[in-house]
Each structure stands twice: as C-alpha cells, then as structure tokens.
Copies of this chain bind each other. A is one copy, B any other.
Amino acid sequence: MSTTYTATISLRSSVAEPCSSCGARPFSVCSAIDTADLDRLAAAAMVIRVEPGRSFVVEGDRADSFFNVTGGTARIFKSLPDGRRQIIGFAARGYFLGLAVVDSYAFGAEAIDAVQLCRFSRTRLRALLDDFPALERRLLEAASAEIVAGQEQMLLLGRKTARERLASFLLARAALCGCPPGSATVHLPMTRGDIADYLGLTIETVSRSFSRLKADGLIGIPNNSDVILLDRAALEAEAAQG
C-alpha cells in the first residue's frame, strides 16, 4: 500500500515564512540548528498542509519520510485487523514524527484539524544528521522524552481506572500547553472517540467519566472541545500520579 494523500506541498525555502521565524522552532528539534545554518535546514524541508481527517502516514509503509509538525494536531495510532484502534499520542506543534520507525512506519497518522508539516526525506535527514551532531543529540533527547511518556501511558493503560485515566489525561494536556495554573482551560481538538481510543476505553465510558468529574465539581465543560479545570488538586489526587 502506498501513501497517497491530498495535501498542499511546497519547498520550505520558497515559502513566505522561513525557518528563522517558524513558530514551531522553539519547541522542535530544529532548535538544535544554529540560526546561521537554517538555510541548510530549509533546503531539506518540504512544507505540507494536510486537511482535517486526512491520513498522511500509513502504518507498515516503507518509512521514506520524516515529519515535523508545525501547526495543528494529528492522531498517531495503531490498529488491529478487526478495526480496534489504539491512539498512541496526539502530535502537535513541535512534535517530530519518525522516531517510531525502524524500516517501516510502526504507526498511522491522520490530521485532526488542519495540520502543517515539514517533510524531510530519509536521505536528506541522514545528511543533516551527519553534518549537525547537535541535531542527532536533540533527536536522542526527544526519543528519551517519548520513551518516558510511553512508559507513563503504559502505566495508565495497564493499571488505572477510567476516572483516573481521564484525570491524568486532562492534567497532561494542561501541562503540555505550558499554561500557568491561572488559565485553567484545556483545549481538546480531538473527538470523544479519539480520547477513548487513546485511553483504552469506549466513547460511552469517556462521556460518563467526564459527566461524573463535572458533577463532582472538578471540571467545567463549556463545550465539547474545551474543559475547565476547577479543582486541580483534586484532579491530581484522582490521577493517582506515580
């Protein structure tokens, strides 16, 4: 099966916004490259825009491309033959897609909202890594962080209750957005179904758990894609943090 996706593609170096003013750079592996060398980076990258709902990585395909997410949110997932799906993570601005690759992609990826990507071919990335050891080191750090996050998720999936999973999820979302404790609103671009497949639950259980947390006064739900953390301390207790 080959990866065919509808997307807008253009060469990074020909695009209005150069790497130097890229909003994703501070959060991504690209920050390992000095400003002076950014033209080298730009020359290796293709800018891609993927429409909501479209797939841009197919599990099992030969891994010829690596991606850096510069905008929007994608779901990263694995599937079983009968359709059961496990979402591995949500890739947002700054996420490097391509660590979970040995020879072919171990995961599929789909845009949730409109996603902007920088695409690097395997060979060009290889060349960059050879020229910039700092980039390789940064990739290793990113890989470490991903392994740590994965282990935390295994603990969640293997040992936490539905309510604990949801509390953990909301707190993790709040933390990664980097918002201070003051602004307690967490944005959730994904559907309840996505959250269910991420937490190893069903849609119904996710919905019920949301309702309970709300009834218990721990959260507010102004609309389906936002949650207000009303009692963070209580949520932390619920999350049963290791």
Q: How far is the CA of A100 from the CA of B159 in the complex (A)?
A: 19
Q: Nearest residue in B to A153 (C-beta to C-beta)?
A: B154
Contact B157 A100 (CB under 8 A): no
Contact B100 A155 (CB under 8 A): no
Contact A88 B154 (CB under 8 A): yes
Q: Which of B85, B152, B240 contacts A159 (CB 8 A)?
A: B85
Q: Residues of B contacting A159 with CB < 8 Å?
A: 80, 84-86, 200
Contact B106 A148 (CB under 8 A): yes
Contact A151 B107 (CB under 8 A): yes
Minimum C-beta distance from A235 to chain B (A)? 15
Give A130-155 as 1s and 0s: 1 = Cβ < 8 Å from B's Cβ atoms: 00010011011001111110111111
Contact A82 B150 (CB under 8 A): no
A178 at the interface (CB under 8 A from B): no
Known: A81-B242, A106-B148. A154 touches B155 (CB 8 A): no
Q: How far is the CA of A101 from the CA of B149 in the complex (A)?
A: 10
A187 at the interface (CB under 8 A from B): no
Q: Residues of B contacting A100 with CB < 8 Å?
A: 144, 147-148, 151
A78 at the interface (CB under 8 A from B): yes
Chain multiplicity (copies): 2
Q: Residues of B contacting A79 with CB < 8 Å?
A: 242
Most buried by B among A99, A101, A145, A154: A154
A59 at the interface (CB under 8 A from B): yes
Give A155-178 as 1s and 0s: 1 = Cβ < 8 Å from B's Cβ atoms: 101111000000000000000000
Q: How far is the CA of A109 from the CA of B241 in the complex (A)?
A: 19
Known: A80-B240, A240-B81, A242-B81. A99 touches B147 (CB 8 A): yes
Q: Residues of B contacting A140 with CB < 8 Å?
A: 136, 139-140, 143
Minimum C-beta distance from A108 to chain B (A)? 10
Q: How far is the CA of A160 from the CA of B153 in the complex (A)?
A: 16
* A interface with B by C-beta (< 8 Å): 59, 78-82, 84-86, 88, 99-102, 106-107, 129, 133, 136-137, 139-140, 143-148, 150-155, 157-160, 197, 199-200, 240-242
A-B contact pairs, 9 of them (CB 8 A): A78-B154, A99-B147, A100-B147, A100-B148, A102-B144, A102-B145, A150-B151, A150-B154, A158-B197
**Can you name 16 extra interface pairs (CB under 8 A) apart from A80-B155, A106-B152?**
A78-B242, A80-B159, A82-B240, A86-B155, A86-B158, A86-B159, A88-B151, A100-B147, A102-B148, A106-B148, A129-B137, A143-B144, A147-B150, A153-B154, A157-B200, A158-B197
